[in-house]
Amino acid sequence: MDKSSIKKRVLLAMSGGIDSTVSAMLLLEQGYELVGVTFRTYDSIRESCLAREKGCCSIESIMEAKHNAEKMGFEHHIVDFRETFRQCVIGNFIDEYMSGRTPNPCVLCNSHIKWGELMRVADEYGCDLIATGHYARIREQNGHLYLATAADKKKDQTYFLWMLTEDQLRRTVFPLGDLNKDEVREIARQHGYVKLAEKKESQEICFVTDNDYRSFLRDNVPDFDQRVRPGIYIDAEGKVLGRHQGFANYTIGQRKGLGIALGQPAYVTHIDAERNEVTLGTNDDLLSTELTAGQFRVRDMEWIQSHPHVLARIRYRSQPVEATISDLTDQVGRLSFSQPVWGVTPGQSVVLYQDELVIGGGIIA
């Protein structure tokens, strides 16, 4: 038998939302044999399984995913990743905030949970590939596979996926990579999923209720009130400006909710968790021409050393800026920007691009 005629078995991560549901439709039309999987990662302490829980966390979403899989005629499984998720993603989220940094939990979740754990589950269910509803593509260049930006630049999610390895990409399918969101909604409508097509998307962190990370920390750090006490605001020269409510309640670039009047707009420009000091400054004080990143990875070290000019994105919604990589050592890199960038934030990712390919990244230090 011609091996190319054998249908490949694909493990599809399903959240119950439109993107993974339409991904299922497309994969079935392309002749793949599907196995749906929805994973439990977190149960809200404050609201249990009430309707206000979001995304993969709610029982409603899990059951909707299962219903959609059954409706389309393929098997579906629910797997429990809560302990791994708690140790890896939530643990890092808490540690970073309690160190005065601002983490991006989706980056870790994708690399360690949605791919790391799903690869294991795929093997368990005899699946050749895994698929998700992310807006991203995969491209081959010089014999290697690279993550590439999606056709819909407004929805492109490569910023959150930069940690994926080539081995993981070899077993990955992104059915939505060549589509825009309006096209995805229209496919859902054509298949009779009108309510799903009109459902509003959530932009919040799945395990942080109402997007209030401060309440989440207070609920999940036993000695939060002892560790996060009122302290002082200072300016760049160290002059005391007033009192704040504890370093972990602030993020770089924050302007609202500071509780202080200085006669001009003030922004958080630096957080010193050890000294419990929060530095305030002007909008211009948040402009930077360079950054240092840890956990720094590039796909081809030799090539990068001879082609150090890249496009760099320092947050999901920011525009890529021309930059040059320098001082590249073991898992540490320095970027110099061609123009000042606003709000470089320790704990966030910096992602590097060349011709729409993701060629590396790091965690801003």
**Does 57 participate in catalysis according to the annotation?**
no
- Report d(CA 90, CA 43) in Å as an integer: 12
Distance of CA 257 to the CA centre of its chain: 25
Which residue is catalytic, options 56, 57, 109, 127? 109
Please tell me what DSSP assigns to residue 178: T
Taking CA 134 as the corner, what is the angle to CA 208 and CA 62, rounded to the nearest 5 degrees?
Answer: 55
What lies within 8 Å, CB to CB, of 92 at 6+ separation is 103, 105, 108
Residue 26 dihedral angles phi and psi, to the nearest 5°: -65, -40
Half-sphere exposure of 116 (CA within 13 A, CB side): 14
From the DSSP assignment, how many helices (H) and strands (E) are in the chain?
12, 17
Active site residue 206: yes
Q: What does residue 261 show for φ and ψ, rounded to 5 degrees?
A: -115, 120
362 vs 64, 253, 330, 349, CA distance in Å? Answer: 36, 20, 12, 6
Region of residue 295 (left: phi > 0; alpha: psi -120 to 50; beta: else): left
Residues labelled catalytic: 109, 206
